[in-house]
Amino acid sequence: MDGAITDTERNWAAIAHASTFLTVLVGLATGGVGAILLALIPVGIYVAFRDRSRYVAFQALQAAVLQLTGLILYAIGLILLLVGTVVSWVLTVVLAVVLVGVLIAPIALLVTLALVLFAVLFPLALLAYALYGAVEAGRGADFYYWWIGDWLLGMEPAWLPKGGHE
């Protein structure tokens, strides 16, 4: 191959990254259940292109790792913040009997605010980063997600065949 990235390759790489939009949208609408399935879109693109285009395969695999890692981190963050919120409010109510709970109430409010901010901002930040990746891949740029790209390149022989687009 001559090394030039084709329009088709750029489009599929961009679609792999942009699929994060559907993952976030459906995830928010279904309480996260739909996000699990839609996060597999870039995995399907990777499987379809792993023997045909190194560029598309690498971009799709990065998008898959970003989405699946994002889902895991989001679930862990929500669980920890939910537990923290419940514990802080229970302590506030129980200790309000001896007036100490009044002092803990601001902490409970801050934990609740952190929960709400995380629940809203984390998916938006993930989406913004993925859409940036989609734009870069659509331009044919050699786009790498921070940490993910380097990690995948370190494993390259295991996940990416030597054939296909160079």
Percent of the chain scoring above 70 in pLDDT = 90
Q: Is residue 149 part of a domain?
A: no
Q: What is the pTM of this model?
A: 0.80
Closest CA to 150 of 60, 64, 58: 58
- pLDDT exceeds 90 at position 10: yes
Q: Which domain holds residue 18?
A: 7-138
The predicted pLDDT at position 155 comes to 67
Do 122 and 20 form a contact (C-beta atoms < 8 A)?
Answer: no
Q: Is residue 1 part of a domain?
A: no
Q: Is residue 30 part of a domain?
A: yes
What distance in Å separates the CA atoms of residue 46 and residue 53, rounded to the nearest whole number? 9
HSE at residue 148, side-chain half, CA atoms within 13 A, is 19
Q: What angle do the packed helices 54-95 and 41-49 form, to 10 degrees?
A: 160
Q: Is residue 34 part of a domain?
A: yes
pLDDT tens digits along 48-59 = 999 999 999 999
- Helix, strand, or coil here: 57? helix
The predicted pLDDT at position 104 comes to 84
